[in-house]
Copies of this chain bind each other. A is one copy, B any other.
């Protein structure tokens, strides 16, 4: 559908993606209608079909755009974190800076995960993104252990997986009970402890 390329096309694509982010977060991917999204973006369905083949393609595009942003953010944070802070603070900074309070992104990426579990093609996309994210985290962890004069007892990639699981699992609980269980609690309390628990003196 998109053939040549003129200036405003990328802009309307961006506006459609922004609208999709809000709409999917509110309604869920499957229940969201194309018309809802267009309305929010200030277009009609004509604009949509001129930019995407169908709702699925939009979903992929949205995921990939925002997933890339998350990785970029993580990479830029890597440079800024103060290595002299206690581990628990460093971890808190890492996790909190990824998405300050991005409920919407949590909802959408989780829904994309479900989609990926059912759909091998999407699984590849998601696994690829996850790998990039861990690749951005690993050097930070390495640095933390180094500065502390410790060595990790398991692969750093696995520790990155752990921190991600902790965060995602914790967010789910937090968003269900925002009052009783504020976001970031788990990482803050257990993140550093678990890192220490798999460390040994450096050779």
Q: Determine whether the beta carbon of A162 is less than 8 Å from that of B154.
A: no
> Across the interface, which residues of B come within 8 angstroms of A111, CB to CB?
114
Q: A154: nearest residue on chain B (CB-CB)? A: B189
Whether B116 pairs with A176 at a CB distance below 8 angstroms is yes
Structural contact, A161 and B176, CB atoms closer than 8 A: no
* Nearest Cβ on chain B to A157's Cβ, whole angstroms: 10
Residue A139 is within 8 A (CB to CB) of chain B in the complex: no
B186 touches A197 (CB 8 A): no
Q: How far is the CA of A52 from the CA of B178 in the complex (A)?
A: 31
Report the minimal beta-carbon distance from A171 to chain B, rounded to whole angstroms: 9
Whether the Cβ atoms of B172 and A127 lie closer than 8 Å is no
Copies of the polypeptide in the assembly: 2
| A110 at interface, CB cutoff 8 A | yes
A117 at interface, CB cutoff 8 A: yes
Q: Say whether, besides A117-B103, A194-B193, A172 and B165 are in contact (CB < 8 Å).
A: yes
At the interface with chain B, which of A2-10, A24-32, A36-44?
A: A24-32
The complex places the Cα of A28 from the Cα of B193 at a distance, in Å, of 37
Interface of A is mostly: helix
Look across to chain B and name the residue whose beta carbon is closest to the beta carbon of A30: B30
Partner of A107 from the list B114, B175, B181, B193 (CB cut-off 8 Å) is B114
Q: Are B26 and A118 in contact (CB under 8 A)?
A: yes
Q: Judging by beta carbons under 8 Å apart, are B172 and A186 in contact?
A: no
Compute how far the CA of A161 lies from the CA of B186 in the bound complex, rounded to whole angstroms. Answer: 8
With most chain B CB atoms within 10 A of its CB, the pick from A26, A30, A116 is: A30
Kindly state whether residue A12 has any CB partner on chain B within 8 Å: no
Which residues of A are interface residues toward B (Cβ below 8 A)?
Answer: 26, 28-31, 103, 107, 110-111, 113-118, 123, 126-127, 130, 154, 158, 161-162, 164-170, 172-173, 175-177, 180-181, 185-186, 189-190, 193-194, 196-198
8 contacts between A and B (CB under 8 A): A28-B114, A28-B115, A110-B172, A123-B176, A165-B173, A168-B169, A169-B169, A197-B197
